[in-house]
C-alpha cells in the first residue's frame, strides 16, 4: 500500500501545469486564437478572449461582447516495451474543454470582463492489463480558472490590463496495487520486506486504488500592449503561479489473488510467528487477523483508507509577442512562451494515520519554451482565414516519463475560419494537430524516497493529438 498511497498523492498533487502547451497545460481557450496557433500577446482576438491571452486587449473594445465555445481533444498514443516489443495503446475518450468570455467597454478607454476556462488538465486512460497500471491506469486532472479582469488605455499607444485568478482544481486517480512490492506488515521482519520475498510474482494485482480530491485557490494575471507604429504592436502577458493545498482520501477495493501459502512460514521474533500452510493471503489482506496470538494487521486491514496531502503550485507563465499588419487584410503574429516548470522539483507527501508513509519525491522538471507563429487573413468582410505553427520543448526529464504523463517536445500545426452568421453573431471553427517526439520512459516507480534514473526506463512512448474547436461570439 505504500507505493499505492504514494502514487495517489503524486497524482493528487497534479504533476504541475499547461494539450498545446508544455507539461499537461492547455492553451486552446478560444477558437479564433487556436486557428492562429494561440498567438495573441500583441493582438488578442476581439471576442473577449483577451482576458486569457492578454488582459490589456480589453481596453478599446466597444459595447458588450459574449463568446463561448469548446475544444474537443482526442489523444492517441502507445507504449512499446523493450523486452517483448508488446504495444499497449492509450484508450482516451474525446475530452471537451469549455471556455466562456464576457466583456464590456465601460468607456472608450476602460474595458472590463470575466473569463472561464481550463488552462491545466490531463487525462490518461490505459487498459488494466498494462504494466503501468501500478502507477496509474485512469487519471484525470482538471483545473478551472475564473478571471475577473479590467484594462485601461493609458496613452494612445499603451494599454494595461490585470485581473484576479480564482482557481479550482480537482483530481481523480485509479491504479492497481502490486502485492509483490507491498511491505508485509508483520512484526519481526526486516523493514521493507515485501510479499515478493515469499514468492509472490511481480505484477500480482490485489487491490484497485481510487482517489478523488479538490481545492480552490487564488492568483493574478497582468499584461500590456504597446503600439510601436501603425503596423507593429508588441505585448506581454504574465500569469502568476497558484499554490493548491490538496487533501484527499485513497480507498481500496480488493482483487482476489487466489494465493495460499504452500508451506508453513516462520517469522522470526519472540515468540516467532508462524503462518500455517494453506493460509489464504486474500483473507489476511482484507481484514484484521491474529496469527500466533499476535495482531499482525492494523485496525481496518491493509486496505483501510488513507488520507494524503500535498502542496503544489501551478507554475507561472510569461508570453511575449509581436503583431505586424503586413497589409490592410493580413496580420502576422509571433509569440514566445516561457513556463517556470523547474519549480516542480521535489514534492513532500504527508499521510495519515500512517505517518511512516511520508515521502519525498523527486521530479526534476525543467523550464520550457514555446514558439508560436500565426497569420490572419480577412478574405472578405464576412470571412477570416487563419493558420499557424507551434513548437514546445518538454518539461519532464528522461527519468520521469511515466504513464501518468508521457510528454515531450511537440510540433503542432493549426488552421481556422471565422464567418459572420448575422449582424451581431460570428461563428468560428479551428483544427490543431499535435505530433510529439517519441520518448523512452518507464512503467514502474522507483522505491520510496529514491530519485528515479533512466535505468528504470523500459520502453518507448508515442503520442499524437487532434483538437477541434468551435465557438459563437455575439457583439452588441
Cα angle vertex 403, ends 397, 408, to 5°? Answer: 40
- Judged on CB neighbours under 10 Å (0-12, 13-18, 19+), 472 is middle
What residue spans define the domains of the chain?
Answer: 2-475
Going by pLDDT thresholds of 50, 70 and 90, the confidence category of residue 185 is low
pLDDT tens-digit map of 21-43: 455 567 888 999 999 999 999 99
User: Any idea which residue has 491493509 for its cell?
Assistant: 302
Between the CA atoms of 48, 244, 13 and 208, what dihedral angle is there, to the nearest 10 degrees? Answer: -90
Which tens digit of pLDDT belongs to each residue from 356-385?
556 666 777 889 999 999 999 999 999 999
What confidence score (pLDDT) does residue 301 get? 54
Cβ atoms 335, 39 nearer than 8 A: yes
The residues with which 430 forms a beta bridge, in sequence order, are 416, 469
Nearest C-alpha neighbor of 113 from the set 154, 70, 56? 56
Q: Yes or no: say if 71 and 62 are a contact pair by the CB < 8 Å rule.
A: no
Would you state the pLDDT for residue 268? 67
Q: How far apart are CA 128 and CA 30, in angstroms?
A: 35
Q: What is the mean pLDDT of residues 407-413?
A: 92
* Structural class in CATH, domain 2-475: mainly beta
Q: Which three cell numbers stand for residue 10?
A: 503524486
**Of the candidates 292, 266, 285, 133, the residue with the CA atom closest to the CA atom of residue 202:** 133
pLDDT tens-place string over residues 241-300: 998 888 888 788 889 999 888 888 776 666 776 778 888 888 777 655 544 433 344 444
Give the rounded percent of residues in the chain with a pLDDT score beyond 90. 53
**pLDDT value at position 352?**
74
Least confident of 287-291, 299-303, 313-317: 287-291
Pairing of strands 64-81, 273-275: unpaired
Residues 6+ apart with CB under 8 A from 253: 207, 208, 210, 303
Cell numbers found for residue 24:
499537461
Q: Is the pLDDT of residue 394 over 70?
A: yes
pLDDT mean across residues, the chain:
85
Q: Look at residue 312 and tell me whether its pLDDT is greater than 80.
A: no
Cα 12 to Cα 250: distance, rounded to the nearest angstrom:
10
- Looking at residue 290, its pLDDT comes to 47
Mean pLDDT of 111-135: 89
pLDDT higher than threshold 50 for residue 10? no
Under the banding of pLDDT at 50, 70 and 90, the label for residue 162 is very high
Bridge partners, 78 (sequence order): 89, 462
Average pLDDT over residues 132-136: 88
Report the candidate in 469, 466, 459, 468 with the shortest Cα–Cα distance to residue 126.
459
Is the distance from CB of 77 to CB of 463 less than 8 angstroms? yes
Q: What is the pTM of this model?
A: 0.86
Q: How many CB atoms lie within 10 A of CB 357?
A: 21
Which positions ≥6 away from 363 have C-beta within 8 Å? 15, 344, 345, 346, 347, 396, 400
Query: How many residues are given for the chain?
Result: 476
Residue located via cell numbers 465557438: 471
Amino acid at each position: 500500500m505504500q507505493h499505492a498511497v504514494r502514487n495517489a498523492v503524486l497524482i493528487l498533487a497534479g504533476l504541475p501545469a499547461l494539450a498545446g502547451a508544455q507539461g499537461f497545460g492547455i492553451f486552446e481557450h478560444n477558437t479564433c486564437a487556436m486557428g492562429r496557433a494561440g498567438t495573441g500577446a500583441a493582438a488578442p482576438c476581439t471576442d473577449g478572449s483577451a482576458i486569457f491571452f492578454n488582459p490589456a486587449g480589453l481596453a478599446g473594445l466597444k459595447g458588450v461582447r459574449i463568446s463561448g465555445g469548446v475544444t474537443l481533444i482526442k489523444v492517441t498514443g502507445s507504449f512499446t516495451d523493450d523486452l517483448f516489443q508488446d504495444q499497449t495503446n492509450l484508450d482516451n475518450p474525446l475530452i471537451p474543454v469549455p471556455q466562456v468570455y464576457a466583456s464590456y467597454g465601460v468607456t472608450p478607454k476602460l474595458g472590463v470582463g470575466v473569463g472561464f476556462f481550463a488552462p491545466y488538465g490531463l487525462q490518461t486512460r490505459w487498459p488494466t492489463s498494462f504494466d503501468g497500471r501500478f502507477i496509474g491506469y485512469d487519471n484525470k486532472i482538471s483545473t478551472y480558472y475564473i478571471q475577473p479582469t479590467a484594462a485601461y488605455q493609458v496613452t494612445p499607444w499603451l494599454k494595461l490590463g490585470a485581473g484576479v485568478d480564482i482557481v479550482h482544481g480537482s483530481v481523480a486517480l485509479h491504479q492497481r496495487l502490486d502485492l509483490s512490492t507491498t511491505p508485509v506488515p508483520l512484526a519481526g521482519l526486516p523493514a521493507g520486506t515485501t510479499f515478493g520475498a515469499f514468492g509472490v510474482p511481480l505484477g500480482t494485482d490485489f487491490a484497485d486504488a481510487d482517489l478523488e480530491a479538490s481545492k480552490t485557490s487564488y492568483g493574478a494575471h497582468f499584461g500590456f500592449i504597446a503600439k510601436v507604429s501603425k503596423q507593429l504592436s508588441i505585448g506581454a502577458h504574465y500569469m502568476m503561479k497558484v499554490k493548491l493545498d490538496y487533501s484527499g482520501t485513497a480507498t481500496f477495493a480488493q482483487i482476489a489473488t487466489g494465493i495460499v501459502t504452500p508451506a508453513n512460514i516462520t517469522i522470526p521474533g519472540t515468540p516467532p510467528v508462524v503462518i500455517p500452510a494453506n493460509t489464504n493471503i486474500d483473507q489476511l489482506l482484507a481484514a484484521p487477523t491474529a496469527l500466533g496470538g499476535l495482531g499482525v494487521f492494523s485496525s481496518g486491514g491493509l486496505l483501510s483508507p488513507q488520507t494524503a496531502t500535498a502542496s503544489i503550485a501551478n507554475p507561472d507563465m510569461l508570453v511575449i509577442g509581436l503583431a505586424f499588419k503586413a497589409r490592410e487584410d493580413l496580420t502576422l503574429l509571433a509569440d514566445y512562451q516561457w513556463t517556470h516548470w523547474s519549480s516542480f522539483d521535489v514534492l513532500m507527501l504527508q499521510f495519515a494515520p500512517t505517518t511512516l508513509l511520508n515521502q519525498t519525491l523527486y521530479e526534476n522538471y525543467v523550464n520550457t519554451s514555446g514558439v508560436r507563429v500565426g497569420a490572419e487573413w480577412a478574405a472578405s468582410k464576412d470571412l477570416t482565414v487563419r493558420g499557424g505553427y507551434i513548437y514546445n520543448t518538454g518539461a519532464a526529464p528522461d527519468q520521469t516519463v511515466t504513464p501518468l504523463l508521457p510528454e515531450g517536445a511537440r510540433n503542432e500545426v493549426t488552421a481556422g475560419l471565422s464567418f459572420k452568421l448575422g449582424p451581431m453573431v460570428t461563428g468560428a471553427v479551428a483544427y490543431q494537430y499535435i505530433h510529439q517526439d517519441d520518448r523512452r520512459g518507464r512503467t514502474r516507480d522507483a522505491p520510496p524516497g529514491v530519485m528515479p534514473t533512466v535505468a528504470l526506463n523500459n520502453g518507448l512512448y508515442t503520442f499524437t493529438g487532434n483538437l477541434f474547436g468551435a465557438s459563437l461570439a455575439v457583439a452588441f
